[in-house]
Structure 1
Amino acid sequence: MKPSRRIAAILALATLIIAIGYVALSVLQRWEVLASGVLTLSVLVVAAWYVMTRRGAIRAIAAVVGAAALAGFVVVMVHSDTVRVLIVGLVLAGISVAAARYALHSDGPLPVTAAPPASRPVLLMNPKSGGGKAIRFGLAERCRALGVEPIVLAPEDDLRELAEDAIAGGADLIGMAGGDGSQALVASLASRAGIPFVVVPAGTRNHFALDLGIDRQDVPAALDAFRDGADVVVDLAEVNGRTFVNNAAMGVYAKVVQSTDYRDAKLQTAAAMLPDLIGPGAAPPTLEVTLPGGEHVAPGQLLLVSNNPYRIGQLGGGATRQRLDGGILGVVALTVASAAEAERLTALELSGRLSRFEGWREWSARQLEVRSSEPVEVGVDGEALVLEPPLRFVSRPGALTVRLPLRAAALRGSTSRRPAGNAATVAGLWQIAFGARAAGRENGK
């Protein structure tokens, strides 16, 4: 880490403290102005930190909260005739925000080495994935222009057979344009053949692409990996011999995935089913796992096993993995025991703080066995399966070589150097400034 980032983190924390102290001393005799001024200024700065470093709903909520706090601070200071305090307070707050922005950003792209060109690159594509993205973006035509052989799945085709035939026919670089389930299948075959794999985010959510640093909104840009790419090595995970790139979920999410409506309306189906599935009256699956300390527990309404640990803020999305090469599985178990706990879970879900829920456990392991007295419904990278117990999960460290566009490879490398837990919080800045690990709540570890 650059020393300048450490200095910036110290400056961000120091100027926030100075700003709060200055406001407090300036209006010390007026308790109502003191309380409201210090509160709104503190909320403003912390909300700005979140806006700079978070994504999705958390960022949007922080932006709204920050705007409200700014308006409140201005109104309080102007109404109390302390314009000088307003100006100085905002200047100090601005310095704190700017310093935090620099401290929390990555060290910049790493230099990467371009991979040698492939002699026979192939891209398989599912024309129905993601509402027809492969067709909409003209991926087959773009492939031909790059010298890549496009293989478009027909309704009667078997993806595994097509991929195996392409590899047997001499493909030395193979890619998949489709959802995460298709990515996992073709990635497993590329891993077995020892050839690089290209991820083209033409599915619905494309979480694997997200955590690799690929721009999911610019689908054609992912094809740059065929022309001008760099190789990175990542892990795969397996459950009973089936490969997955993201996660395998039992309980709540597995029930959602099993729904006949899920494939056509993923988010709507999840939103409609989750309240009944996570409530205290819901019957949890008959599962049992062993915690790292040796304790046997029933995981409750949700058990999630991921290819490297997620940082989960919300059940409905927003989870990311800082790295895909840690050689471990991430495990999350959720138990909701009462109506009061269900209400608290909902509140923490909305604020992106699920890990603070008392029924939340998370840990990491290189392998995991899940026991049950009956077949287990599992959502594996969004695909609905029913597997016979016991379910044996293992991590396959460094099993897959992914060829990324050069820019994505450089950005991914710089991001992977950031210490775990660098969130836009006081704890995150403290970690950068003084080298202490941010205190995170991790049950069962």
Structure 2
Amino acid sequence: MTADVDLTMRPPGHHVLRDRFLSLDCRLFEAVATRHWPGGDHVLPRLSHAANHGKLWFAVAAGLAATRSPRARRAAVRGLASLTLASATINTLGKRTVRRPRPVLDPVPLVRQLKRQPITTSFPSGHSASAAAFAAGVALESRTLGAAVAPAAAAVALSRVYTGVHYPSDVLVGAALGVGAAYAVRGMVPTRDQLPPPGRPYAEAPALPDGDGLVVVANRAAGTADRVRALQEALPRAETVECEPQDIREELEKAAARARVLGVCGGDGTVNAAAGTALRHGLPLAVLPGGTLNHFAHDLGIEDARDLGRAVREGEAVRVDVGRFSSGSSPEEGVEGAKGEEAKEGIFLNTCSLGVYPELVRERERWAERIGGWPAGVLGALRVLRADRHPLHARFQDRPHPLWLLFAGNGAYHRMGLAPGRRFDLADGLLDVRVVHGGRRPALRLLAAALAGPLTRSPAHAAVRVPRLHVDGVAPGTLLAYDGEVTEVGGELTLCKLPEALTVYRPQSPR
């Protein structure tokens, strides 16, 4: 009687529709399982096995990362992040929600059957979800790379039916969940084509179809050989000069004397030196990223030689602000300031900071040659935050402040979702100032400030955007970091902007 009551409460035709769907699913399964595909008996079972635990996709991601292309590396990371989310969703929710038995293997030839049959439930297909998630994640970052990966992902999904371990509906739903996971990751970490195009206003610059008149100085220590070769292919008549770090400034001055356009290939510190030379000589600057971080080039939208080559050939450029710091005297005073401190001044294209960050930069430089840039940065952060230290004391806004960090960005840094900060406008005339106040636990305060959005205030940190900042009472010998370089300052410190001072090549339309 209970069963009869339960059936009458279901919608009319419920069992009919369900039975028709299951019948169609079984017929499709048998059609695929019994059909002979040329080469399929040897290829598809092996491909299905290779995709176990995502091993195939980790190998593909490693291959993409090995190309050293920023776009390919981002695609690899996005693909793996999408795969991870899809796999976690399938294994924690999908498999436990619908406990569908695996297909009967009678129609499947023995040669196709997997040596080890899966013991989990059939719906949905985890392999298909992982394959679709990885391919979709890669495609959202690069359509070209996504098109290259898609056939392998489709073959893995097909192999799950061909080897008899899934029904077609398992595969289709798994693939749909995988694609959904890729879009969910994009919601948390936007792709570059979702971000507003940085760089304005447009500026006039020489168009050099073959690169004739462009002289590029490359920092050999940054491992720029491959990028220089790629630039020579894109602009065959451009002159390139490779040199050691200690010779960078001298070679930049020599290049500026004979160039129509000054080019540079290296990290942010090398680009900073080139920008200073370009400003002194009134030349446009062509930046080819070649270091570890390359913040300025990437915020411009230049990732490789193809981007830069297209901009130089077409004469596409923008004007950008340049940050300036002056210590020991105000910009209007002479060499000696009121307190007798030696005047120090310089420019920055990205950031300028006091406090714990300059110490981190020094630690990173100390270890970078031994263990590499990224590991050295992590090690440096751990050493700096664990050390027993006292906050920096300085005076600004007419009040004394103990500080763990004073950060000033050349332009406003934004964050979309969980993505790291980027600048959408390199000529906004503003300094993005972030302050982390002194306290007993610098690590927690720095983390809270990093997670907080712009223009926020709390007892631990504050953020404002101003065209100019003046700081008094900086102890002599205080470290100041600018674009990855470190110098010592003391006395008064003034930070300001040189609005739209530098002309830089940048492609006006995305690739």
Q: Is the 8 A contact 1:137 1:220 kept in 2?
A: no
Question: Partner residue of 1:151?
Answer: 241
Q: Distance in 2 between matches of 1:285 and 1:242?
A: 21
Q: Which has the higher contact order (CA 8 A, sep 6+)?
A: 1
Q: What is the one-letter code of the residue matched to 1:78? A: V
CA shift for structure 1 position 67: 4.6
SS state of the match for residue 191, structure 1? helix
Q: Could you tell me how far 1:338 is from its partner in structure 2?
A: 3.8
Pair 63,323 (structure 1): closer, same or farther in 2 beyond 3 Å: farther
- Which blocks of at least 5 consecutive residues in structure 2 are unaligned? 1-73, 101-122, 124-169, 327-344
The 1:373–1:327 alpha-carbon spacing in structure 2 relative to 1, beyond 3 Å, is same
Structure 1 residues 154, 300: closer, same or farther in 2, change over 3 A? closer
Match of 2:405 in 1: 302
Query: Aligned pair in 2 of structure 1 residues 197, 64: CA closer, same or farther (>3 Å)?
Result: same
The answer to which of 184-193 and 377-386 deviates more is: 184-193
Task: Tell whether 2:455 aligns with 1:361.
Answer: no
Partner of 1:401: 503
Equivalent residue in structure 1 for 2:393, among 286, 307, 320: 286
Find the residue that maps to 2:413 and give its secondary structure.
Answer: coil
Instruction: Tell me which residue corresponds to 1:270.
Output: 377
Change in CA separation of 1:96 and 1:283 when aligned onto 2, cut-off 3 Å: closer
Give distance in 2, aligned partners of 1:166 and 1:282.
44
**Can you list the C-alpha shifts for 1:244-267, whole angstroms capped at 9, x where unaligned?**
111112222200222351552433
Moved more, 178-187 or 136-145: 136-145
Question: Quick check: 1:261 aligned with 2:349?
Answer: no
Once residues 65 and 190 of structure 1 are traced to their aligned partners in structure 2, the CA distance between those partners, rounded to angstroms, is: 46
Counterpart check, 1:160 vs 2:249: yes
**Match among 123, 133, 151 for residue 216 of structure 2:** 123
Cα distance, 1:122 vs structure 2: 1.2
Gaps in structure 1 of 5+ consecutive residues? 1-53, 413-445
The equivalences for 1:349-428 within 5 A come to 353-355=451-453, 359-371=460-472, 372-404=474-506, 406=507, 409-411=508-510
The CA distance in 2 between the partners of 1:284 and 1:362, in whole Å, is 18
2:319 to 224, 233, 244: 233
Q: Which amino acid aligns with 1:205?
A: L
Shift of 1:233: 1.3
Aligned to 2:88: 68
Tell me how far 1:208 sits from its aligned partner.
0.7
Tell me, in whole angstroms, the C-alpha distance in 2 between the residues paired with 1:390 and 1:344. Answer: 26
Q: Distance in 2 between matches of 1:144 and 1:58?
A: 28
2: CA distance, partners of 1:109 / 1:298: 37
- Counterpart of 2:257 in structure 1: which amino acid? A
Superposed, which structure 2 residues align to 1:148-227 within 5 Å?
148-154=238-244, 157=247, 159-169=248-258, 171-215=259-303, 218-219=304-305, 221-227=307-313
Corresponding letter in the other structure for 2:469 = L
Change (3 A) 1:100 1:55: closer
Distance 1:270 1:91, change over 3 A: closer
Q: Secondary structure at the match of 1:269?
A: helix
Structure 2 counterpart of 1:235, which letter? D
Once residues 392 and 141 of structure 1 are traced to their aligned partners in structure 2, the CA distance between those partners, rounded to angstroms, is 38
Q: Deviations over 1:279-301 (max 9, x none)?
A: 695311223332xxxx6352522
Cα shift at 1:58: 9.9
- TM-score, structure 1 normalization: 0.61
Partner in structure 2 of residue 326 of structure 1: 428
SS in 2 for 1:261: helix
**Identity rate, percent:** 25
Change (3 A) 1:108 1:276: closer
CA distance in 2, matches of 1:99, 1:267: 27
The count of aligned residue pairs is 336
Distance 2:421 2:504 in 1: 21
Q: AA paired with 1:245?
A: L
1:313 and 1:354 in contact (8 A); partners too: no
Question: What's the secondary structure of 1:301's corresponding residue?
Answer: strand
Contact 1:181 1:244 in 2 (8 A): no
Aligned-residue CA RMSD (Å):
4.6
The alpha-carbon distance between structure 1 residues 251 and 219, as it changes in their structure 2 partners (threshold 3 A), is: farther
Change (3 A) 1:229 1:386: same
Question: Alpha-carbon deviation of 1:227?
Answer: 2.7
- Alignment of 1:245 with 2:349, yes or no, is yes
| Shift in alpha-carbon separation, 1:162–1:283, aligned structure 2, 3 A | same
CA distance in 1, matches of 2:355, 2:79: 29
